Structure 1
């Protein structure tokens, strides 16, 4: 490394010169601006052009000496000397880190006069989501609070996007007051700082609510033919279905009648309609949040006119109370 006393004295001289802010003479960062911008993880070369004979030269990062001539003072293996001749004194930094950001100085002595050139290295980091809410399940009417935390250089923006309606909310936090079932969907967090493509992740919000029967009606049926009674209910979690006859007897499958339960509806399938099948049927849909029921008729065509169905909702969890079911209507041939 040469004479330590000589280089220590030279390093002290460099620090004094830097503190006085000496002007630039005889050195330049060839074809590079005063600020050099690089992405984290990339490599960069800092070039210092020299146009006169020098006696001593050095590279500094802030107040830390990197090189004095060809002698390396830095312990960082990523920093290497590219050229050290009469016209070029350049260094190379591999896999740039955020901590590498800051001022770099090429300094040398020519004719016993100090010469200094400065460059500022800017390290950019793509925006990245580092912490985000997990998928949530809430009951209708509750409040929802989502968060999305991001990092990056420069400081990234964070935006929440409503996937269903395209609504946008700025900021790391998204608050939904008294959420409704229509607001159940995926909410997307997008962070961007213009350095790289945006980073984005989604949070699924599930809204639970009691069953609401949406499709039920009286159906005509011919003796000896097939017929179907339908009961459809919207609910989260999905509803469980039960069928009852006019005297509250549970409907059971037999060789002429089959119950088919699907995700959002239940079907009564009559394979061979007989006299005993005509009458009033009640569909009961329930989940852990409540229940709803509706009554409908299976009738012979022309036997009734203008008879509606009965619909009842809002039964509490675990209750089996029947209220105001439709009056029983028995039809005879």
Structure 2
């Protein structure tokens, strides 16, 4: 019997192949038995049963939807209370989904590991609204984030007109905007901003080099608001300068970007009198001598005008 880690890897590979639109295979075509059942059409609000024939000596079995595991044997992985286990024995593995919604539409796969070979059975659920007929539905192949939004369906007959809307949410891994380096004067306030586009919303982690930063660490504050995370330094010290990394994470993946917090030297009154070169290299030089000569000339100019 395979250990749980092997089963998790098998299920994960099945989900990956489904998402990429590839035929499900395991250990070569000659050793696998994969079946595609007819589509199941169900009206919104009804209950649908998903049955999977067992047979042979089954070691592991699971039902999966488009992106997650519903049941692995008797263990329920789905957090949806509408999904429940009906039958699990040598003959069949059946689950049911109550109060079916439009978001339940899509492909479902039963993955079975037997003593001889693995096999899969897939079925596609089509969900109809209250006024839809058997051939009235909208199919969106190769769904992408650009397809997300509100869809409107209008049904008209001689008696009435009905309009229904469906909100389509497309989940995707985070994409982080390129980090912008920030220059801050010693002892001043500095802010690094990290923005991520993700559904569901991403969680953020901050690192300085390879060390993770937590809120309140060394006087730093981390504030996350929706798609934006801010790392604030209230009193920048020498040890704060350096490289920082922001990581955005959700259940579908992660993304990161890097920042550089660098020192900015404010010009002093003496460097302002000495000119731009003194601000750059810290020395008066010839420009310094010239500035002092001009100042002396201005001081003695009124006395010279008297004569």
TM-score, L = length of structure 1: 0.41
Bigger strand fraction: 1
